Chains A and B, each alone.
Chain A
Amino acid sequence: MTRIRLNGKEIDADKDRPLIAAALANGVDVPHYCYHSGLTPVGSCRMCQVEVTEGERPARVVAACRTPVSEGMQVETQTPAAQAARRECLEFLLKNHPLDCAICDKAGECQLQDYTYAEGQSEGLSAEPRRKLDKRRSLGEVILLDQERCILCSRCVRFFEEVEGQAQLTIAGRGANSTIQTFAGRDLSGNYQGNVADLCPVGALTLKSFRFQARVWNLTKRASTCGECSRGCAISVEVLRQGQVKRIRPRYEALVNRWWMCDTGRFAFEGATLSGRLEGAQLRGYSGLEDCSTSEALAAVATGFAVHTNHVFIASPWLTVEEGRDLVELAQAVGAVLRMVSPEESGLADKILNTGDPCPNRRGLADVGIESASAPECLQLCTGAETATLVGERVVNLVGREALSEHDGKSRLFVFDTQALDAARVAVQVGVASWVERSGTWVNADGHESPIAAARSAPAGVCGTQGLLDDLRALVATCAPGSVSR
């Protein structure tokens, strides 16, 4: 640790990190574009200039991201010289910047907007026309590049080189003709492309799927955890008008994903925004599955547990630890065999984040005592038992939707899933909330506990799994085996 004086206050600075890191860590916002804590500092944008005095030497203006801290250094961020240096730098960045904020998806979370406002650089000096470049250059499936908006900070270039491990972008051309380009015009590839849209401090690299989808200040953001693999990246789920999930972005979590996440997780909600939700409950009557109230459905399930023997519970790997615990208790009360259905590896495993195991809470459920079993094993258990209860989102798909609807065993199926299963053996089914609609805890592959939080409310008539399990347990307690005649 090194003692330095920042804006008149003594602080401790990490001697291996640049001056800007110390300032940011101590709540002093030094404007910056090219610096990012997750990337090597290059000092190209010159936005982070501050005034430094060391010993007897006269004060000088330096780039804080390329200046190491030294004992007794005195740093001032708001001196006239430092401010003038930053304003001039902004003047040049804005020289060719289009007046696009009105249509720019970055507006509202754009560092160019923020620092232009903060530094008071609202009028330019130059009268020449702005440079015209390609405003809609596709860089593959995920990313769209607007060359006019780019400020050439090279964060995106460094991301692919340093984090993804394979250079995919470069700054081509010289001087005023520099632009960001892929090598030989190839599309970007890999499972981490989406990160550059978060990383880009301006609206030059944007997500195609988020294009014109929402103004960012209208999004409600909830801290949650990604459910697409057992890494469990910390994310923020962003919802428009309490309804649609519009975007998922990584949240900094030092022990898990740091600043990044993979595209599989980033875009998973698009499938999970869930058409064909099972809203409410259904009970088999004389003419097939009929709508009923949730309490009627639960009563039927409890009666089913009482009048039959030989029960099987299949848990979805998306259940939270809390739900898992409830399910274990319920299984004990009923005397059922309980397994978590364990899908095959997704084949997406890489050295960066994705573990390839698509179960976000495998470890958490194992910790509460739920063993896992492969889909064929689960199917066999289901067909062999008198009643099979499938609990949690995607559980039907994981066990095998086709197989479950075709199976000709004797078992009755009690289904608690987000989507309906149209099968002859289904006796009762109840719609449950998905992971963006409930709260709880998941434990990732390394044993790190992360919260999931309801980002929006479930569709009308859909209940949380935990509430259902609680109600069911109460019902089971009142109609113990034998108390209901066959």
Chain B
Amino acid sequence: MVIVKRKQLTLGERLYLPEIVRGLSITVRKMFAKRATRQYPEEPLVTTAVTRGQPRLAMNPDQTLRCVSCGMCEAACPAYAITIDAHEVEREIEREPEHFEIDMLRCILCGFCEEACPKEAIWMSDELELADYTRASLVYKLDRLVRPVSQLQGRIDYIEEINRRWNN
């Protein structure tokens, strides 16, 4: 048998009103404090170069892809999210991805692909939103992965800075 011992209330507590005042004072104080939540989606997340959003492929100003489809990110990806098929093109480095797919539903935004890439072609962008009606449409193909380098520059500079710091 369990005997539940009830707490003896003090007089102040039994009077009820002082406790109400105490509670309301917290409410009122919090109303003017700095807010911890945001009104998403009207107020999007503030991203910085440190934000590790979805991976994206960089495109040079001359409209060529940096990616040579070497498969390093594919091999590094712990979630098996990346699939690449290469083909031959007429340019100085003659290899380019014909198909490049990242299954965003599998991607865990770990950034291993970014780290593995020897050609500085795949970067963790600041894009974070992911919603659609079908699974298939969330397997991103080249058309949804490629971004001009300028758009990724913040991240590129940040990573370069980190590397500099580590290597010295």
Interface positions of A (Cβ within 8 A of B): 101-103, 107, 135-136, 211-213, 215, 217-218, 241
Chain A nearest CB from B44 CB (Å) reads: 36
Q: Which residue of B lies closest to A100 (CB)?
A: B93
List the 6 closest pairs (A to B, CB-CB), nearest first: A102-B70, A215-B71, A212-B86, A103-B95, A103-B68, A102-B68
Contact across chains for B70 and A212 when beta carbons are under 8 A apart: no
- Total A-B pairs, Cβ < 8 A: 33
Proximity bits, B85-107, A CB within 8 Å = 1, else 0: 01110000111000000000000
A212-B88, A215-B74, A217-B75 given; A103·B118 CB < 8 A: no
Chain B neighbourhood of A103, CB < 8 A:
68-70, 93-95
Partner of A102, one of B74, B83, B119: B119
Q: Which residue of A lies closest to B93 (CB)?
A: A103
Instruction: For the complex formed, measure the closest distance between the CB of A82 and the CB atoms of chain B, giving whole angstroms.
Output: 31
Query: Which one of B74, B88, B93, B95 has the highest number of Cβ atoms from chain A below 10 Å of its Cβ?
Result: B95
Contact A102 B118 (CB under 8 A): yes
Closest B residue, CB atoms, query A99: B118
Per the bound structure, the CA–CA distance linking A213 and B74 in Å amounts to: 15
Cα of A215 to Cα of B70 in the assembled complex, Å? 7
Task: Please indicate the chain A residues that have their CB under 8 angstroms from the CB of B118 in the complex.
Answer: 101-102
Residue of A nearest to B87 (CB): A212
Question: With A102-B70, A218-B74 given, can you name 15 additional A-B contacts, CB distance below 8 Å?
Answer: A101-B118, A102-B68, A102-B72, A102-B119, A103-B69, A103-B94, A135-B94, A212-B69, A215-B70, A215-B71, A215-B74, A215-B75, A217-B75, A218-B71, A241-B83
Whether A211 pairs with B88 at a CB distance below 8 angstroms is yes
Query: In the complex, what residues of B have CB within 8 A of residue A218's CB?
Result: 71, 74
Complex CA–CA separation, A217 to B75 (angstroms): 9
CB distance from B150 to the nearest CB of A (A): 24
Contacts of A107 in B (CB 8 A): 70
Chain A residue, CB-CB nearest to B98: A212
Q: Assuming A102-B118, A102-B119, is B71 touching A212 (CB within 8 A)? A: no
Residues of B within 8 A of A211 (CB): 88
Inter-chain contact B95/A212, CB cutoff 8 Å: yes
Question: Interface 1/0s, chain B 52-69, versus A by CB < 8 A?
Answer: 000000000000000011
Given contacts A136-B94, A212-B86, A212-B87, contact A101 B71 (CB under 8 A): no
Query: Could you tell me the distance in whole angstroms from the C-beta of A219 to the nearest C-beta in chain B?
Result: 11
CA gap between A30 and B93 in the complex, in Å: 34
Instruction: Kindly name the residue among B71, B72, B93 whose own CB sees the greatest number of chain A CB atoms within 10 A.
Output: B71
Docked complex Cα distance between A213 and B94 (Å)? 13
Compute how far the CA of A215 lies from the CA of B84 in the bound complex, rounded to whole angstroms. 9
CA distance A103 to B72 in the complex (A): 11
11 intermolecular pairs with C-beta atoms under 8 Å apart = A102-B68, A102-B118, A103-B68, A103-B69, A103-B70, A103-B93, A215-B70, A215-B71, A215-B74, A218-B71, A218-B74
Cβ of B94: which chain A residues have Cβ within 8 Å of it? 103, 135-136
Task: Give chain B residues whose Cβ lies under 8 Å from the Cβ of A102.
Answer: 68, 70, 72, 95, 118-119
> A215: which B residues are within 8 A, CB to CB?
70-71, 74-75
Docked Cα-Cα span, A218 to B71, in Å, equals 9
A212, A213, A217: which has the most chain B beta carbons within 10 Å?
A: A212
Q: A residues within 8 A CB of B75?
A: 215, 217
B73 to chain A, nearest CB (A): 11
Q: Which residues of B contact A241 (CB under 8 A)?
A: 83
CA distance A101 to B119 in the complex (A): 11
B71 to chain A, nearest CB (A): 4
* CB nearest neighbor in B for A211: B88
